[in-house]
Chains A and B, each alone.
Chain A
């Protein structure tokens, strides 16, 4: 593995009630987050291909971990998202190199499908910075019940020369979704949008 990983953290959240109403079945979402060394920390480097390869490795590793935390078959995942936070000696473009060129393909391979764009966010920050991972339905970005987000945070990362990389998956949309729009039973699943 190209990535030098200091730690991996997984988070699993299960919501049973909201505003006193039972959620049945409970909605569940999980995120797997890796803290890696930034090979380009402290200097400007034109060619970011090493981080792209690292993104590919982490796409598979983190999706497997997050799905395992949900405890469901990978093909049952409904929505997904990704995010990265670069420590202060790196640049935002390092997050882009990890997230955008190659990370998505292994995510979709693990899940069996994934016609929709994987929603993403990125930032630069210090230790304990909060990442809000955007979530969207994996096969149709317009499914309104699945527009969501999951917050993750690791108190001791990223250090200045590190990058935090996160992949999130769910088995459902929001707990009590009721603002209309495209529903998941209407998905055509061809263009990734509807």
Chain B
């Protein structure tokens, strides 16, 4: 099994007080953890890649932990999440799909068995590529106030033989959420959707 080689780690935390409307008593916080890793499959078509998902698990857990820490240390404060990947030019989109299991399950496990699917996106791109990571409620995908996203990216990554992995967590709804739909207070919490 290839060892995961991490070139750099990056954390961003946004604390949002308002967006032109009333100042929120409890500011919304959004955090992103990024890791730039070597892509062991870069440069050639490799049929068997799935075992790399297991190799990525410790990194996924480390990044998820760093997000909880960045948001104040209490996993219960986390209400939204998402994940994404940018694959460098010598890789293929499928390599980004390797992040679904280790990235998603790390967050769900850490957040006490969150029920909703982890929203995700991925692309192939060069250094400086930006990725809009989608965010949804951790227990019910249809909670409209928690549909959000966070833009991430690094000027010097991913190089052609690298993958940029991203995890994102938030502490609440959009700062001025007011377009109706299912509310967080109405979650049934059984199917991960409502």
Binding site for B on A (CB under 8 A): 5-18, 69, 130, 151, 153-155
Contact = CB atoms under 8 A, between A and B. Distances in A.
B16 A7 contact: yes
Given A15-B7, A155-B151, 18 more contacts: A6-B18, A6-B20, A7-B14, A7-B16, A7-B17, A11-B12, A12-B11, A12-B12, A13-B10, A14-B8, A16-B6, A16-B7, A16-B9, A17-B7, A17-B8, A18-B7, A151-B155, A155-B130
Contacts of B154: 13
A13 B154 CA distance: 10
17 contacts: A6-B16, A6-B18, A6-B20, A7-B14, A8-B14, A8-B15, A9-B14, A11-B10, A11-B12, A12-B10, A12-B12, A13-B154, A17-B6, A17-B8, A130-B155, A153-B153, A155-B130
Contacts of A13: 8-10, 154
Contacts of A151: 155
Majority DSSP secondary structure for residues of B touching A: strand
A120 to B, nearest CB: 19
B15 A7 contact: yes
Measured as residues with beta carbon below 8 angstroms from the partner, the interface class of chain B is 20 to 34
Contacts of A12: 10-12
A116 B10 CA distance: 28
Interface of B: 5-20, 130, 151, 153-155
Interface centre among B14, B17, B130 (most CB of A within 10 A): B14
A8 B29 CA distance: 9
A5 B19 CA distance: 10
Majority DSSP secondary structure for residues of A touching B: strand
Contacts of B10: 11-14
Contacts of A8: 14-15, 17
Contacts of A14: 8-10
A159 to B, nearest CB: 8
B8 A9 contact: no
A183 B13 CA distance: 33
A154 B130 CA distance: 11
Contacts of B9: 13-14, 16
A18 B156 CA distance: 11
A10 B12 contact: yes
Nearest to A155: B151
A34 B153 CA distance: 19
A2 to B, nearest CB: 15
B5 A17 contact: yes
Contacts of B153: 153
A10 to B, nearest CB: 5
A126 to B, nearest CB: 15
Contact of B8 (A5, A16, A130, A153): A16
A118 B131 CA distance: 32
Interface centre among B11, B12, B151 (most CB of A within 10 A): B12
A114 B11 CA distance: 26
A151 B153 CA distance: 11
Given A11-B11, A12-B10, A69-B11, A5 B5 contact: no
A153 B10 CA distance: 14
Interface centre among B6, B8, B19 (most CB of A within 10 A): B8
Contact of A9 (B7, B15, B19, B20): B15
Contacts of A154: 14
Contact of A15 (B5, B8, B20): B8
